[in-house]
Structure 1
Amino acid sequence: MIPSIEQWKQLYEAAAEFKRVGCWEWLSNGHIFGVENPVDGEIGYCCVMGNGGEMFGLAVYLGTAGLETFVGMLTGELDEDPLYSQHCLMLSFDDRKELHPQELKQIKELGLSFRGAKTWPTFREYEPGFVPWPIKSQEQVVFLTLVLQQAIEVANEFKSNPDALIEGEDEAFLTRVAMKSDGSLAWTSEWKQPRELDDIPIPAADPIDEFRLAKIKKSIQGSAGIWEMDCFFAPTPIKDGDKPYYPMMLMIVDQGSGQILNIALEEQSLMPNAAVASFINIVEQRGLLPLEIWAANEQVFMYLSQLLKFFNLQVYLTLELPAIEEAKEGMREYFQSGMR
């Protein structure tokens, strides 16, 4: 649903109060606390930004998956760029030139005005695989308003001893929980452990025509050494629909020669079928199968699971893909030289 004018006003008022309190003066991004959504019970894990004096605001990481991504960022254990993996709602105070036209229009319609650097509130959703984008649903606006209000309560309560926020036992986080009372919400604090994270299945490709596979198998004339395969987000977003997204790139490189055998660029949900099609096309064209496949992540295994079993291919998971890295470096140099 679309937020009402009154709901937008309440969100901007909560943001203004959050800025006035300035709780980044005593809270750092390590002082994590939660706010439970009264609608669906999902917990938003809050990180106050601004203690370092660069970016001011509040990030709300959604659910256990969002929390684990944020903790991975803090500890340096996150393998990929957080731009492609974090899931959060974020309030930040920015310069006017950094606002999306939609945000400027919203501020004008509400009759609001802001002056100076780092004073213009922006409300963005960071969703894995997508460009950060202004929030627009009623659910997001209402929840972020509640989170900001409760963040102020938590910040004031722990102002004299902020480190008490990180003293929970058994990896529990202080969490604000609401109970409905006489038509309104009554908030209390509880120490709650994050819910267990369900395994997120990696999508597999559609079933492959076995007749075609059998025909390819008969045409195989030999082996082709080691093929390296990797699948990763491309850095250039694609505008398709309301929200730009980062496409995924599949790269297959012959390790011995360094030759790029295939590059496929697809929207994330279409990559399993694209990976299968790329692999089959190479085998058909060359009449060769690799002795081994080296990959850096499990996605490649799942995408090609049918082919690996049918052709009895040897696959190894490794952190080092020298031919892929050399190919990536060549692509980076090419694009950088073209931009000069």
Structure 2
Amino acid sequence: MENIHIESYSIDIKLSAEKSELSLIYQLKITLLHFKPKVWRRVLSTNCSFHDLHKIIQSCFEWKNMHLHEFEVRKSNGVMFPKSDSVLIGEMNDINSELFYNWEDEEDLMLDEETEEIKDWIIKEGDKLLYRYDFGEDWTHEIMLEAILPSNNKEKYPMCVKAVGIAPQDNSRALFHTDSNKSVEKSNDLNLLQTINSKFQTKQHGTPLWSDLLHLAKEFKTLKLWELLDDDQIFAIQMTVDNTYIYCSVLGSASEVFGLAAFVGDEGWQSLQEIISGQQEDSLQQRSLLLSFCNRDELDEEDYQIIKESDFSFRGKHAWPQFRSFIPRYLPWSLDNNEIDVFCTVLEQAILIGKSVINDNLVIPHYPNGLIPARIWQDDEWRQSFISIPSVEDRQTEAPPPVTNELAVYGARKKYKKMTQAVEMALFPFIEPVQDQPDERPYFPMIYVMIEHNSGIVMDTQIMQHENITAFAQESFLGSIDALRSIPSEIWMTETTAHYLQPILKILDIKVVVVQTLPLVEELKQSFLEHSVFRH
């Protein structure tokens, strides 16, 4: 079949100070040397570590990663490297650091592929690397930089744009040495191209790739922004899909938890405000995404498998990335595909903000002073700007919710008299999560409770059976009235609970005492904790 030809892009670009390495694409031609017929690949990739480049080559040539490998720098920034001054780049784990690798000269410079990045070695068109795989069979590949291109936001990288020839299999060199007439399988280059790119785009944990997120987390960690910023120095990132803002707080200035907390939208901003002001300590009430760098023994098995299957490795204290999604009244959980995509964007832009702090002396004010630095999506490109501190509507000015069952409310007013006792009433999430299906995210059911204020007797409790908290609060309260056959004359409750019941309280002419805490309710919560009355 005739080869499908994809033209090599050639473009002269100028790098502005604001451009990140993440926005540049390296066009590489990777050729298997000393093999006929010709086998080569043209690959587009963002800047990456040499370890990631190793994985790209393994996928492109369908190697099985069964043997040792190394890179050698042959030409960098237009300058050829003589063999007497070899620069080798490879794995530096505890075993391979002693075996490494193909040393013929003890003066060869040896570098770690986990930390070395291609942007530092292939700089000008024509720069070359060698990649050796399987030192017994010596499969040697030449990697040549053909061009540096601007990124296309609609594409996923890495991407193979041309593939010529099927590579030999692992452990097959002897076949080609001993049988000169051995036939080589002819390639269908279009099918080969599709096979390679399907490997780039398919991972067990879905698309977008976990490896993208882990790579960004690794780059973010190198900035060590917690040494420069406190957790109340907030910056914002605008999402390109719906223009929602993500409000970011760098964690680690207190040397306890290191990472990045990203609070999503208005709900997340309100949580962040309450955390900074000390009003909220319960992470179960947040809407946020969290990256934290923890120790190996602090990872769940799923966290470790994600890292292992993405072929990343981390070493040391506070080095292993862990990602969590927080949604009010749900158990903290692993990220879904949409959240991975969001966090990739957040980290990409957070890295740019961090570099502006380090290199350009960007000042991020302490909350609540001044404007918030922001990365905004405008005219199909990212720009650095400032936004005003968002205002969160106060409960006193927020419109009350509608009455869910007006007939029942007016029926109760006509049917029942007021009781003389005051009561405490509260809504709160139960202490134990419930998981309806094995693969579903566990949630914390909402508990409704009414307690007689003077005696402390629990008059009624209900557990939420649906998602609508307003409907649950109103239906439970009306159910208590029916069960007691009387209407409380005075109710003590928090501002949030009062908001859910506001229209009913007005119709029934009930006196409301709004308080910050309810001592009797707190005692009941403690009793639940000790005895697990509602254990599922």
Change (3 A) 1:233 1:162: farther
Q: The residue matched to 1:129 in structure 2 has which SS? A: coil
Q: What is the match of residue 28 of structure 1?
A: 230
> Do the aligned partners of 2:268 and 2:288 also contact (CA within 8 Å) in 1?
yes
Cα offsets for 1:50-80 (capped at 9, x unmatched):
222221111111224322321321222x2x4
Q: The residue matched to 2:467 in structure 1 has which SS? A: helix
Aligned counterpart for 2:347 among listed residues 148, 173, 192:
148
Change (3 A) 1:283 1:11: closer
> Do the aligned partners of 1:32 and 1:45 also contact (CA within 8 Å) in 2?
yes
TM-score normalised per structure 2: 0.53
C-alpha distance in structure 2 between counterparts of 1:36 and 1:106, whole Å: 27
Q: What is the match of residue 38 of structure 1?
A: 240
> Do the aligned partners of 1:246 and 1:267 also contact (CA within 8 Å) in 2?
no
Q: Which runs of 5+ in 1 are unaligned?
A: none
Q: What is the match of residue 189 of structure 1?
A: 384
Map 1:295-306 → 2, pairs under 5 A = 295-303=493-501, 305-306=503-504
Change (3 A) 1:161 1:216: same
Q: The residue matched to 1:261 in structure 2 has which SS? A: strand
C-alpha distance in structure 2 between counterparts of 1:286 and 1:141, whole Å: 50
C-alpha distance in structure 1 between counterparts of 2:503 and 2:243, whole Å: 36
C-alpha distance in structure 2 between counterparts of 1:142 and 1:283, whole Å: 48
Change (3 A) 1:113 1:275: same
The alpha-carbon deviation at position 23 of structure 1 amounts to: 2.1
Aligned counterpart for 2:251 among listed residues 31, 40, 49:
49
Structure ranking higher on relative contact order (CA contacts 8 Å, 6+ apart): 1
Look up the equivalent residue of 2:304 and give its one-letter code.
L
The alpha-carbon deviation at position 24 of structure 1 amounts to: 1.7
After TM superposition, the structure 1 stretch with the greater mean CA deviation from structure 2, 258-267 or 311-320, is: 311-320
C-alpha distance in structure 2 between counterparts of 1:168 and 1:311, whole Å: 42
Change (3 A) 1:171 1:285: same
C-alpha distance in structure 2 between counterparts of 1:8 and 1:93, whole Å: 16
2:371 aligned with 1:172, yes or no?
yes
Aligned counterpart for 1:319 among listed residues 516, 522, 529:
516
Look up the equivalent residue of 2:436 and give its one-letter code.
D
TM-score normalised per structure 1: 0.81
Change (3 A) 1:64 1:300: closer
Aligned counterpart for 1:58 among listed residues 260, 263, 279:
260
Q: The residue matched to 1:28 in structure 2 has which SS? A: coil
Q: The residue matched to 1:165 in structure 2 has which SS? A: coil
Q: The residue matched to 1:294 in structure 2 has which SS? A: strand
C-alpha distance in structure 2 between counterparts of 1:122 and 1:320, whole Å: 34
Cα offsets for 1:256-301 (capped at 9, x unmatched):
2210011222257244444344434443344333221221224345
The alpha-carbon deviation at position 150 of structure 1 amounts to: 2.2
C-alpha distance in structure 2 between counterparts of 1:280 and 1:178, whole Å: 48
Map 1:239-258 → 2, pairs under 5 A = 239-241=435-437, 242-258=440-456
Q: What is the match of residue 357 of structure 2?
A: 158
More helix per residue:
1
Q: What is the match of residue 271 of structure 2?
A: 69
- What is the aligned-residue RMSD (CA, Å)? 3.4
The alpha-carbon deviation at position 174 of structure 1 amounts to: 0.8
Change (3 A) 1:213 1:9: same
After TM superposition, the structure 1 stretch with the greater mean CA deviation from structure 2, 47-56 or 154-163, is: 154-163
Change (3 A) 1:201 1:59: farther
The alpha-carbon deviation at position 201 of structure 1 amounts to: 6.3
Change (3 A) 1:236 1:189: same
The alpha-carbon deviation at position 87 of structure 1 amounts to: 1.5
Q: What is the match of residue 26 of structure 2?
A: none
Q: The residue matched to 2:209 in structure 1 has which SS? A: helix
Change (3 A) 1:224 1:272: farther
C-alpha distance in structure 2 between counterparts of 1:271 and 1:68, whole Å: 18
The alpha-carbon deviation at position 4 of structure 1 amounts to: 5.2
Higher alpha-carbon Rg? 2
Change (3 A) 1:59 1:201: farther
C-alpha distance in structure 2 between counterparts of 1:223 and 1:169, whole Å: 46
> Do the aligned partners of 2:456 and 2:520 also contact (CA within 8 Å) in 1?
yes
Change (3 A) 1:87 1:285: closer
Q: What is the match of residue 489 of structure 2?
A: 291
Q: What is the match of residue 134 of structure 1?
A: 334
Change (3 A) 1:202 1:83: farther
After TM superposition, the structure 1 stretch with the greater mean CA deviation from structure 2, 249-258 or 80-89, is: 80-89
> Do the aligned partners of 2:492 and 2:514 also contact (CA within 8 Å) in 1?
yes
Aligned counterpart for 1:19 among listed residues 213, 221, 231:
221
Q: The residue matched to 2:463 in structure 1 has which SS? A: strand
Look up the equivalent residue of 1:52 and give its one-letter code.
A
C-alpha distance in structure 1 between counterparts of 2:470 and 2:480, whole Å: 16
C-alpha distance in structure 1 between counterparts of 2:423 and 2:265, whole Å: 38
> Do the aligned partners of 2:357 and 2:363 also contact (CA within 8 Å) in 1?
yes
Q: Which runs of 5+ in 2 are unaligned?
A: 1-201
Look up the equivalent residue of 2:411 and give its one-letter code.
A
Q: What is the match of residue 294 of structure 2?
A: 94
